[in-house]
Structure formats: C-alpha cells, structure tokens
Amino acid sequence: MTITIAGYDIPVFSITEFPDDPLQLGEFDHMTYEIHIRSTLPDGIPMVDTLIHEVIHAICHIALASEDRLAERQVTTLSTILIDTLFRNPKLRKCLEERWNG
C-alpha cells in the first residue's frame, strides 16, 4: 500500500522485526520516506493505531521544521485518542465518510 501525504508517496511495508528494538511496532523512516509496520500486529485497533501513529510522524516530518515536530508522547497520545474517538463514535465515522463522499 502507498499513502500520499502532502504530495509525497509513502510506501507502507509489513516487516517481521525491527532489529534495533524487538518491542517496536512501527516506524516512519525519514531517510527512505517509508512506513514499516510489524507484521504480527493483529488487525483491528492495534494495527490501525500503529498505522495512524506512523502517519502522524510522517506528516510532522514532511510539514514541520524539526524544532516544531511532535514528541513521541504527543504522537502516541494523538493517535490513540483519535482512534479511540473514531472507534467509540460510529456516527462520527459515518458522518465523516458521508461528507467526504459528498
């Protein structure tokens, strides 16, 4: 899959391990402009939360100067609360989808 963020095509790859951190779930590689997600993550909220987390990192890297980028804790909080809000509010999801599609 490829996600376009502000005109940049960001490939998303499923990988089996992160050699530097065996507990890591995902990463945005700012050198290659790729997102890597742990392949053993279950579908559903864990996968979606991790993907959104890495998308937020990519947005920050692309759109913000280094001194303005969000810290890891801020990205985690934002992605987790965003996913939780969408999960707990199906009417919101439906409204967003309907308005997106016109």
Cα separation of 74 and 32, whole Å?
23
CA angle (84 as vertex; 70, 94 as ends), nearest 5:
115
Residues facing residue 28 across a β-bridge: 35
Nearest to 11 by CA among 58, 79, 75, 72: 58
Q: Is the pLDDT of residue 102 over 90?
A: no
CB-based contacts of 12: which residues, under 8 Å, 6+ apart? 1, 2, 3, 34, 35, 36, 37, 51
Tell me the residue ranges of DSSP E strands in 1-102. Answer: 2-5, 8-15, 26-29, 34-38
Task: Walk me through the domains of the chain, giving residue ranges and CATH numbers.
Answer: 2-101 (1.10.10)
Q: Is the pLDDT of residue 41 over 80?
A: yes
Mean of the pLDDT values across residues 23-51?
94
pLDDT in tens, 67-78: 999 999 999 999
Mean of the pLDDT values across residues 39-66?
94
Confidence of residue 101 (pLDDT cuts 50, 70, 90): confident
